[in-house]
Amino acid sequence: MLKKALSTTLVFSLAAAALSACGGSNPQDQAPAPSSTPNAPAAENKPAEKVKIVFSQGADQTEGTKKLVAAFQAKFPNIEVEVRDFPNDSSQMHDQLVTILGGKSAEIDVINLDVVWPAEFAQAGFLLPLDRLIQEDKVDLTKYLKGGIDAGYFNGQQWALPRYNNAGLLYYRKDIVKEVPKTWDDLLKQAEALKGQGGTKYGFVTQGKQYEGLTVGFTELVSAYGGKIIDDKGNVTVNSPEALKGLKKLIEIQKSQSVPANLNTFTEKETLNAFLEGSAVFARHWPALYAQANDPKLSKVAGNVGIAALPAGDARSAAALGGWLAAINKYSKHPKEAWEFLKFAVSPEGQKIIAVNSTQTPTYLSLFDDAEVQKASPLFASRDFVNGLSSAIPRTITPQYAKISGLIQVEVSKAIAGEQTPEQALSNLESQIKQAIGSK
């Protein structure tokens, strides 16, 4: 079974995350009372009042969300769920939500959040803490992907729970690669040795442009070598020996003879195209590439595509977490009903509906052993995919994530271009990030 492939360490670390996440919250942070009128006289056989809640997310082009809502309403006929579609452009969705919630509006009850938003939204006072609700309903956080749980945890409280996540993966040509590289050093050696075989032009392609993808790559390498940008206590730790090793390895990769000369223009699109055209031996990309790479109508390498966890540094294999979490609007007039829907959406039943009908990667670990889930996508049945997903780490958890990501992009790009040393880049980042978060 696939879940047996998950390490004991993962299970124990998940348990630790759950215990810390379930700490008590302040009395003023407790969930508001249910929407039913308190102290109302009981009436025999009186039908329960029907309540409508609004769930916001990017537009779903599949049948997944419709089936999720239908299954929920079959269990809770007195809770009507209206789905409000937002733009699938993450930045536009973010800005619209900030406008709505910043006005203390109750027009939305349950919110889909990008993995990098919970800390920002929590600090802004937009979200309802979930700790007491999790405790009361005995939601076992150890059964979920650790990275997804961690992404919703900030400042000692759990603000969001994972609905579906993804993570960076290593793609490779099975007709060329005989042994999957386990470390970044091994990858570079193979990429240089195998470049040119099987009609390839490059040994390795990844995202090198100055945008969010570069921040992701930096985060993965820093973590792989044991470093952190900001530690669990909120201290800025980017200027460390471990982070320096990670940055130096990133620069080595970007300057390698195995990568395209114009790697600094590569986003996910260019990386995908190079791999589908058969131009690359290895590629770092997200799970969405898998189906396209194995489609003979789109790909010249269909049938020869392998996947694995990203290579390890001195400390571990680390893949940046992507995906979405669910949270409750602090200003909701129906917090009890909102919690029931959120809880169902992240439950095994809710996540299975989305996995089967929308092929979104579940975060409830045992679902990877479910035959129907495995049938929905070859990835879900792949031990290599589950192992890769299990190495996922949240991007830096901070309310100032967008600003910090921009700082990283600039300083790392300068280091790659040789305009400053890696040491200078990290020193600059240390002072700039401290200023951004108001740390001394």
DSSP labels, 292-360: HHT-TTT-SSTT-EEEEPPPB-SS-B-EEEEEEEEEEBTT-S-HHHHHHHHHHHHSHHHHHHHHHHH-P
Q: Which residues pair with 81 in a beta bridge?
A: 53
Task: Tell me, yes or no, whether 42 lies in a domain.
Answer: no
Task: Tell me, yes or no, whether 212 lies in a domain.
Answer: yes
* Tens of pLDDT, residues 86-135: 988 888 899 999 999 999 999 999 999 999 999 999 999 999 999 999 99
Task: Tell me, yes or no, whether 40 lies in a domain.
Answer: no
Task: Tell me, yes or no, whether 41 lies in a domain.
Answer: no
pLDDT at 48: 67
> Is 299 found in the same domain as 151?
no
Task: Tell me, yes or no, whether 406 lies in a domain.
Answer: yes
pLDDT at 439: 77
Task: Tell me, yes or no, whether 69 lies in a domain.
Answer: yes
> Is 362 found in the same domain as 336?
yes
> Is 289 found in the same domain as 208?
yes
Task: Tell me, yes or no, whether 43 lies in a domain.
Answer: no
Distance (Å, whole) CA 374 – CA 359: 10
> Is 243 found in the same domain as 173?
yes
CB atoms within 10 A of CB 245: 20
> Is 275 found in the same domain as 210?
yes
pLDDT at 32: 45
Element holding 111 (H helix, E strand): strand 110-114
> Is 385 found in the same domain as 347?
yes
Residue among 246, 266, 231 at smallest CA distance from 412: 246
Domain count, the chain: 2
pLDDT at 201: 98
> Is 304 found in the same domain as 223?
yes
* Tens of pLDDT, residues 48-85: 689 999 999 998 888 999 999 999 999 999 999 999 99
pTM above 0.85, yes or no: no
> Is 356 found in the same domain as 366?
yes
Q: Residue 29: which domain range?
A: 2-35+50-165+321-393
In the numeric block, which tokens belong to residue 85?
């579609």
Domain with residue 189: its CATH number is: 3.40.190.10
pLDDT at 88: 83
**Start-end of H helices in 86-143:** 90-102, 118-123, 131-136
pLDDT at 291: 87
> Is 161 found in the same domain as 171?
no
> Is 298 found in the same domain as 217?
yes
pLDDT at 5: 43
> Is 107 found in the same domain as 118?
yes
> Is 411 found in the same domain as 332?
no
Q: Which residues pair with 127 in a beta bridge?
A: 329
CB atoms within 10 A of CB 349: 15
Distance (Å, whole) CA 369 – CA 382: 10
Q: Which residues of the chain have pLDDT under 50?
A: 1-45
What does the angle CA 148 – CA 16 – CA 338 come to, to the nearest 5 degrees? Answer: 45
Rounded (to 5) percent helix, strand, coil in the chain:
45, 15, 35
pLDDT at 47: 54
In the numeric block, which tokens belong to residue 123?
């600090």
